[in-house]
Amino acid sequence: MRATKRGASRTRLDRDCDVLICGASFGGLAVAREVASTGARVLLLDRYEIGERQTSACGIPTLWLHALGLGETLLQSFDELLVHTPWTTTRWPLPWSFATFDYRALCELMWAHTGLGEEAFETAKVDGVTRAELHAGAADAGAADAGAAHAGAPHTVHTDRGDVRAPLVVDALGWRRVLSAEATVRPPRAPLSRGLEVHPPGGGDELELWIDARYIRSGYSWSFPAREEVRVGVGSFWPTDHVREPTVRLAGELGLGLGEPFDYQGNWIPHALRPATEDGVFFVGDSAGHCLPLTAEGIRTAIYFGLACGRELRAVLDGRHTRAQALERYRAFSDAHAWKYRSLLRSQRFIGQLTPTPAVTAIVRAMGSRRLAGWAFDHYLRIAPPWFALACQPVARRGGRTQVALAR
């Protein structure tokens, strides 16, 4: 058993390492995947055990699961999206399939792929950071030889169990951006959407969305089958709007969970990019606003930017770049996607304003065209393409569907 336990029985944490990753969900695990092979001392911190706390519908383009070698965690895949408005129901043909997956199994498998030992993970609540001088030399002679001179002096991260020191620190803790020096902006003033979900037992073959003011005035509702359960939820683009009642009502209208108490899961969802670096710290996933506006898809992008961040850290550990260079390169990589995020945010605001009107129905019907849907969803996939994982490479599209060839 790990020495770390819950409550008062927790042992004191006082460690030095080369890479400290705060947050053990998709983004943090993707960073760990990239730096694990360097031989550096890596530590992953989270309040919960790996895979313990699911906060989303856990859906992702199926290509990403296969690109990362995570296909065994797939529960169901879908080639179409059934979209409802008050005036119509339209099938959108997808040029690539979308999958629901097992959150715990995926996180545990991502962690297993790193090959890092049990000592590389600890449960602790991260409270803040004291930053080192960015241009100071490496202070820890025990750091990995190849990258010690390039990594700089260590930052000190404070947790409820003690302090951890590392020159390369990643915040993958979520929208609160815990390791930021800026004042926390909380909802409803922050650029956040909100979502709530229930997972009643059931089944189905349709991936469904509702753009309907009967459930939420600005946002959408969903039903994602996942083998033995259905993930039903409501997301609002306006953080002041409540989503619990319409979530329960939608589940009831679908005949799910009737007469049984629900277990709720939900979260605030960023819909605007934030700086990917700040004073020597790297930010990944929701802490950098990497969740996509309009669709609120954040898993794929957390992994995508996590891989990019991890590769920059690996270059420091290998002695190819300094920490300052890695910070600049990673920030530039994230910033290069800003126009895509602005475009999706404009679409979110446009759709949000039109939700109660028949104009949305015209858009939904138009997306029933295989040609238009193929064009739109292929562009959407390329915001964070699966071949970035380097486990696969894109090849020509055939028969209107995106094809990939897995690397051998």
How far apart CA 59 and CA 77 sit, in angstroms, is 9
pLDDT recorded at residue 399: 47
Is the model's pLDDT at 391 over the cut of 80?
no
pLDDT recorded at residue 278: 96
For the residues 273-299, what does the mean pLDDT come to?
Answer: 96
SS3 75: strand
What pLDDT band is residue 54 in, cutting at 50, 70 and 90? confident
Report residue 229 as tokens. 């359960």
317-366: pLDDT as tens digits: 999 999 999 999 999 999 999 999 999 999 998 888 877 678 888 999 99
245-275: pLDDT as tens digits: 999 999 999 999 766 667 888 889 998 899 9
Contact assessment for residue 103 and residue 54, using Cβ atoms and an 8 Å cutoff: yes
For the residues 144-172, what does the mean pLDDT come to?
Answer: 86
DSSP string, 213-257: TTT-SSEEEEEEEETTEEEEEEEESSTTS--HHHHHHHHHHTT-S
Is the model's pLDDT at 85 over the cut of 70?
yes
- Cα angle value 165/168/174 (rounded, 5°): 95
What pLDDT band is residue 190 in, cutting at 50, 70 and 90? confident
The rounded mean pLDDT for the chain is 88
Q: pTM for this one?
A: 0.91
